[in-house]
Amino acid sequence: MKRLWKVEKLHQFNGHHQGIYGLAFEAESGCLFSSGADGFVVRWKPGVSDQGELIARIPEPVFVLLSLRKDILLAGTAHGFIYVIQFGKNPGVRILNAHSGGVFALVKTASGEGWYSGGKDGYLLEWNNLGSWTLGKKCSEESLRCISVAGDKIAAGFSDYHIREWKPFNGGEPVHDIIAHHNSVFSIAYSKDGRWLFSGGRDAALKQWDVQNGLQLLREVPAHWSHINHLDVSPNGNMIATASMDKTIRIWEAETLELLKVIDATKTEAHNSSVNRVVWLDHERIASCADDRTIRVFRIFPAD
C-alpha cells in the first residue's frame, strides 16, 4: 500500500527586497542563510525567531551561498567574486576574484579542507581554506551550473547539456562525460551512499544515474511543468526535493523516483513564483526560497 504524506508550513521569513537565489544551512548552529538580487546576506534561526540578521550587504546579486564552517560563509556573486564573510568574534569580509561572469556553484571538498567553485566562464576551481585556488580547469565554453561531491568523486553539470565526473579532480580530463539533458543542467546531487547521481535542469526532467556503471541512466521522470532550478537529497538519503520555475516543490522517493508529495500555493501556503532553491534542514524539514522574496520552511511527515 502506498504511503501517504502530509505537509505543514512551519515558518515564513520576509525581509529581502528582491528575488532570493541562495540558501545555506549550518547544522551545528541551526542557522539558515539567504541571499538574492538585492545583495543582502541574511541569517535566520528557524524555530527561534522570525527576524533575520543582516550579516553582509554586497553591491551586486548573490547567486549562491556555502557555509564553510560555523563562523564563515561564502557568497558567490553575479560578477564572479566570492565573498568570504566571517562573523562572530572576529567579523570581516574578504573578496576573491574567482570567475569571469557569475558564480553559480560552491561546494565543500570531501575533506572539508577547501571548496570548489564553478561559474559562467566554464571553469571548475579548487580552493584551500586560505582562499587560494590550487587547481583549475576550463571544462566547457558554456556555464558550469552545479557541482556535487561524494568521497573521491566530483561531478559538475553544464549549460552545454553535459555532466562531467572526475575520480578525483586533478585538473585533468573527466573520467566520464555524458550528454545528460536536452538543455542546461541546473542541479546535481550524489546519493548519500554515492551509488547514484541525481540531476535536473531546464528540460524539467529528473534523472537518476548509475555511478558505478559510468553514469548509465537508470530512471527518468517528467518531474515539473517548467525548469528544475535545484534539487537536494534528504540527510537520511530516502527522499529528494526539487524546486521549480513552475512555483512548486516536489518530494520524491530517492530509490524509485516515485512522486510522494507536491507542495504548492493552493494547499500548503507555498510560493507564488519561481522556487529557486530548496535545502533539507533535517529528515523532516525543508527550507525554500523564491522570486516572491520569501523563505519558507515546511515539515514533511507520514499521514499514518
Q: What is the pLDDT of residues 107-120, one digit of tens each?
A: 999 988 999 999 99
Question: Which triple of cell numbers denotes residue 235?
Answer: 540527510
Cα 228-233-238 angle, rounded to 5 deg: 125
DSSP state of 210: E
Question: Which pLDDT does position 221 carry in this prediction?
Answer: 98
Cβ distance 287 to 46 under 8 Å? yes
Task: Calculate the CA dihedral of residues 177, 181, 182, 183 and round it to 10 degrees.
Answer: -90
Per-residue pLDDT at 87 exceeds 90: no
CA pair distance 42, 57, nearest whole angstrom: 9
pLDDT at 54: 95
At 179-199, the pLDDT tens digits run 999 999 999 999 999 999 999
Q: Is the confidence at residue 209, as pLDDT, over 60? A: yes
Across all residues in the chain, what is the average pLDDT? 96
Residues 299, 258, 192, CA angle at the centre, nearest 5°? 70
Q: Which residue blocks in 115-262 are alpha helix, DSSP H?
A: none
Fold of the domain built from segment(s) 5-18+110-302:
Methylamine Dehydrogenase; Chain H (2.130.10)
d(CA 164, CA 299): 34
Predicted pLDDT of residue 281: 97
- Percent of all residues in the chain with a pLDDT value above 90, rounded to a whole number: 91
CA angle 92, 97, 100 (to 5 degrees): 145
Percentage of the chain with pLDDT > 70? Answer: 100
The pLDDT value recorded for residue 1 is 57
For the cut 70, the answer to whether the pLDDT of residue 256 exceeds it is yes
Residues 245-270, mean pLDDT to the nearest whole number: 96
Reported pTM: 0.97
Nearest alpha carbon to residue 289 among 88, 75, 18: 18
**Strands of the sheet with 20-26, listed across from one edge:** 20-26, 31-36, 40-45, 49-57
- The pLDDT, as a whole number, for residue 232 is 98
Short-list 266, 245, 248, 254, CA closest to 221: 254
Q: What is the dihedral of CA 167, 171, 177, 183, to 10 degrees?
A: 120
pLDDT tens for each residue of 117-131? 999 999 999 999 989
Q: Which whole number is the average pLDDT over 273-302?
A: 97
